[in-house]
A and B are shown apart, each in its own frame.
Chain A
């Protein structure tokens, strides 16, 4: 289905799903598959060289996050592991605290875990969002108590890019004596961070979201935060995450963090400008379409557009035929029957929620690519609307015209 690599490499606007590994990153990690194969724990020179490379990588991550100490960086296998480690550690370390605060729009890495913990008797408070995906901080403040073991709130939403006021929320948690974790896999590298000046106790990041490979993540753990490891065993990561280090990927993540730091201004200016152009042109050309989330306060690379009366998977299939890769909040792309929980939480009507399409750019996205997508999207939407029973001629059919009996 995809055009072959030689004729057309395709236009990749699905960087919130995963990113291309940067060529510099590949180059940096390759020796650690071959000559630098040692175990960092070993006494000999083979291990020592790898140990030093891991130390460098840890400092590169530390600098991007603005962590006070490099020992606050724990390498894990992915964002999900970091999230689970943080939440389960807080529960284990504070057994008398049986409540968790999170939001309705979290990633499944947090939501599914919380739903599972409810079965084990924990009480989970899910903060609601308004139509623009924003939280009610008064509701949050009222829930903070000595019964809460941990607050876990994402820094940026993966579907809409909407940013939550994480620094303020962390301060509020600290004031109430509650641990604060943030899943920042979408934000790291796109939002400047200086964790040492915040009240954030734990933070998750994922390598493959910032041009490092898949299979490597980090849990930032502020010094002094009470902690219980998820994996026990060897003394790797100071006994906080046992298991032989994934040295090649750790080196890669370090390099990727260094590059992200160098490009963070470009993300916020150049990538944002391309995103804005894409969004403006599509909204101008396509009637009955709107941006979801909070356009004034979101990641610089993300645009989530709802195309009313058509369905997201059909949009993606037609775009894919044109070599354009995007993502959708439609039920049918996830394998579940429900449309995106994020869209439902914002109260987006289902005829629009199923047609939400996410374009997520990266620093590798070019203006020429954006122009091609701007040209491609309106005909795709029109083609599908022609098939839609909710659409008539060149406008939405009136409610009375199509009223199916619903299962």
Chain B
């Protein structure tokens, strides 16, 4: 049985704004043959202020589809059309205190119905550019189409890369077989073969993702050892950590950055600020704690703390900061601060 939040149940058992608005002047009709949901959204828009005065829904779909429709109408009533168009499917899911990953498409349908209704009001034709495939990664709700497209667009060749780019496979790892099958298929289209050993996964898993250090041979060995996993006390000098899929920086950019200290710190702050909404969407957050040379220490909070993917997220943050600064830095969890000091 699905683990629906109490809010989802409330909106399913007692839906708000069910039924069509009699004098609607904006109608959106969307559906998905594959998942068998369909939604008809009727709005009454005040032509002078372009404010949504009333909203009604009719939904053919499961419990969460009905709850998402109900939530959508509650959210948008009283909004201007422009405001309403800013409502994302995540907003709908958040309003319902979350949806199971497999059910996120129900909230997508709500957003699409809204776009369709606004287009209808404006005399435009709305077309759906959203293609949905079978759910592959259930931990992070990543579907087959997204994985395929990401592999093609970024020329990926390993499960680790797919995880890095899409999150798929970063949780329980049960979908790795499925991801390998997609890789095999997509690579075959390009006349390539999927090699399970290819890609950056040469170093032990924990070390690679926990730090995601760009190659920096000048770093003292001891520092690296402290931040490798606690359960992997290395006896010999650790193997060179594989590079995280590092941004492609030109040779000149790799040399000393030209920013002043203050500008550099501000830039790092800005980058982290720009990432935070993404994490907050997943009910997590990140905070800048300190900067020591090339080491940037952050604290993962909320859902990010203890998340199996925290390390991958760190890698992603690092990649962004490297891009924005034009220099190679490491992003480390704040816990590593004392040990590397």
Which A residues lie at the B interface, using CB under 8 A?
Answer: 1, 309-314, 317-318, 321, 330-333, 335-339, 350-351, 353-354, 386-390, 402-407
Nearest Cβ on chain B to A59's Cβ, whole angstroms:
39
In angstroms, Cα B38 to Cα A390, docked, is 9
In angstroms, Cα B9 to Cα A184, docked, is 38
In angstroms, Cα B31 to Cα A387, docked, is 15
Cβ of B282 under 8 Å from chain A: no
Find out whether the CB atom of B131 lies under 8 angstroms from the CB atom of A388. no
> For residue B15, which residues in chain A have a CB less than 8 angstroms away from its CB?
387
> For residue B58, which residues in chain A have a CB less than 8 angstroms away from its CB?
387-389
Find out whether the CB atom of B116 lies under 8 angstroms from the CB atom of A321. no
Find out whether the CB atom of A311 lies under 8 angstroms from the CB atom of B13. no
Interface size class of B (residues with CB under 8 A): 35 or more
| Interfacial residues of chain B within 8-30, with CB under 8 A of chain A in the complex | 9, 12-13, 15, 18-19, 29-30
- Known contacts: A387-B18, A389-B38, A389-B40. The answer to whether A351 contacts B60 by CB under 8 A is yes
Find out whether the CB atom of B132 lies under 8 angstroms from the CB atom of A313. no
Number of A-B contacts (CB under 8 A): 111
In the assembled complex, 16 residue pairs joining A and B whose CB atoms fall closer than 8 Å, in A order, are A311-B37, A313-B62, A314-B12, A317-B63, A350-B36, A386-B19, A387-B59, A389-B39, A389-B40, A389-B58, A389-B60, A404-B38, A405-B31, A407-B31, A407-B33, A407-B128
Chain A residue at minimum C-beta to C-beta distance from B63: A317
Cβ of B34 under 8 Å from chain A: yes
Cβ of B130 under 8 Å from chain A: yes
Which B residues lie at the A interface, using CB under 8 A?
Answer: 2, 9, 12-13, 15, 18-19, 29-40, 57-66, 102-103, 105, 112, 116, 126-128, 130-132, 134-135, 138
- Known contacts: A388-B59, A407-B31. The answer to whether A321 contacts B13 by CB under 8 A is yes
Q: Tell me which of A312, A330, A332, A406 contacts B31 (CB under 8 A).
A: A406
17 extra interface residue pairs, beta carbon distance < 8 Å, beyond A313-B62, A390-B60, A406-B128:
A309-B60, A311-B37, A313-B63, A314-B12, A314-B61, A314-B62, A331-B35, A332-B63, A332-B64, A333-B62, A335-B102, A337-B132, A387-B58, A389-B38, A389-B60, A406-B32, A407-B112
Find out whether the CB atom of B134 lies under 8 angstroms from the CB atom of A336. yes
Find out whether the CB atom of B65 lies under 8 angstroms from the CB atom of A404. no
> For residue B13, which residues in chain A have a CB less than 8 angstroms away from its CB?
317-318, 321
Find out whether the CB atom of A337 lies under 8 angstroms from the CB atom of B105. yes
> For residue B135, which residues in chain A have a CB less than 8 angstroms away from its CB?
335-337
- Known contacts: A330-B36, A337-B132. The answer to whether A311 contacts B61 by CB under 8 A is yes
Find out whether the CB atom of B62 lies under 8 angstroms from the CB atom of A330. yes
Q: Tell me which of A317, A332, A387 contacts B36 (CB under 8 A).
A: A332
Nearest Cβ on chain A to B144's Cβ, whole angstroms:
10
> 4 closest Cβ contacts across the A-B interface?
A404-B31, A332-B62, A389-B40, A313-B62
Nearest Cβ on chain A to B312's Cβ, whole angstroms:
24
Nearest Cβ on chain A to B102's Cβ, whole angstroms:
5
